[in-house]
Amino acid sequence: MDFAALQQQLCDRQTTCVELTERYLAKIEKGVHLNAFIFVMRDQALQRAAEVDRKIAKGVAGRLAGMVIGVKDNLALTNTLTTCGSRILHNFVAPYDATVLRKLAQEDAIFIGKTNLDEFAMGSSSETSIFGAVKNPIDPQRVAGGSSGGSAAAVAAGMCTAALGSDTGGSIRQPASFCGIVGLKPTYGRVSRYGLFAYASSFDQIGPLTRTVGDSAHILQVIAGCDPQDSTAVDTAVPDYQQALQRSIVGLKIGLPREYFTTGLDPQVETVLNKTVEKLRNGGAQVVEVSLPHSRYAVAAYYILATAEASSNLERYDGMRYGYRAGHVRSLEETYVKSRSQGFGDEVKRRIMLGTYVLSAGYYDAYYRRAQQVRTLVKGDFDAALEQVDCLLTPTAPTPAFCLHEKLDDPLSMYLSDIYTVSVNLAGLPALSVPAGTDSKGLPIGAQLIARPFDEETLFAVGQFVQNP
């Protein structure tokens, strides 16, 4: 049941927010083996649900009254633990609200808990969290994707109406694909990042994970917009996304990047994408081939630039002001070294070292500057392609969900699972992953739609058609 149907039930007095919340809490308890939540805000959620029920009875409830939301644990929520899945923040209590959470609360959304994630959102499988790996609800022997795996698993397992995630290189879209739900990465600057614990500041963007495209539109309508607390949040009009869901795709021109349908793409993923192409053509859209010639450099450029930003952003976690502090130290330097060594996990330390290396004297020009030049070329490819078409259609991930521990000791293989998503973040574009089919084992496969900057409307229109018959 989508959010519109839930709202209708609430309006018709067929159910209450308290009853809905209790049902979700029961689902969380039943699905505890999936490890989707780091902690559940049971009492707070039920108290909030009762407040929203009173508002509904008085006719003064907000637009999201009755929407129960899981929150990725790298978003600050006042007086609530915010750990980023890391030992170094195991006891950190946020003193303020992220802008997106404040906006959702103003519209009477109900927060049910903090969802699990790869440590500091650095990963593609949600296996690097200090709280353990997230498991895929479709097949618990497989990963839920990363880094927003807890949010994706929670939505797919019916533990909440929707969830928030963050997307630095595919961290909303890839887990959405693996879990068979909808994941939106908005245009860079469409949504405020204030209150998001930064991984790579020029890439990060907050977005929703939902069961339907319509629910995604409901949430973006609320969280989009300018924010004086975030200089990267663009002051541009927020359109009516519900209207976009009603738009016809007849006459739309959709591009297929030829570089995305080559060696490395699972044949069953390609088959599902081909069926999606036929569905779009039968619906009146025109599908044409386009080229993104610098795509092969995207993963390398991304992991140079993102790790460089990570090494800078994570300098603040030093064991002095908050978070984990090592014991039995004899100097300030030893406090820094031991606290960071013990507080960060292997993947985070790997990325800090990579980032520090590419920024170091003698290597800056060879790596960081060159990667920035590649980023410009990648963005230019998208600009040229999207002048010819209304949006692009690609796979979200090269394969369905892989098995737990399959790639954990092979970082390069893990990084390549983001091959179809990182270029979108390099270019700052909006992208939507929509369930498009399954493989022979019943594992979900997602189709990724990519549009021009601030054209989430086209994503919703085409995504609505792809998801529904």
- Which residues are the active-site residues? 72, 147, 171
The answer to whether 110 touches 121, Cβ cutoff 8 Å, is: no
Burial tier of 325 (Cβ tally within 10 Å: 0-12, 13-18, 19+):
middle
Cβ contacts of residue 117 below 8 Å, gap of 6+? Answer: 72, 73, 74, 84, 85, 126, 129, 134, 146, 147, 148, 149, 150, 151
Angstrom distances, CA of residue 304 to CA of 15, 67, 173, 427: 51, 38, 21, 15
Token representation of residue 175: 């887990």
Cβ contacts of residue 328 below 8 Å, gap of 6+? Answer: none
Strands 286-290, 431-438: pairing kind: unpaired
Angstrom distances, CA of residue 94 to CA of 47, 91, 148: 20, 10, 20
3-state secondary structure of 257: strand
CA pair distance 155, 164, nearest whole angstrom? 10
CA pair distance 144, 127, nearest whole angstrom? 9
371: left (phi over 0), alpha (psi -120 to 50) or beta: alpha
Token representation of residue 428: 């700052």
Question: Cβ of 334: how many Cβ atoms within 10 Å?
Answer: 13
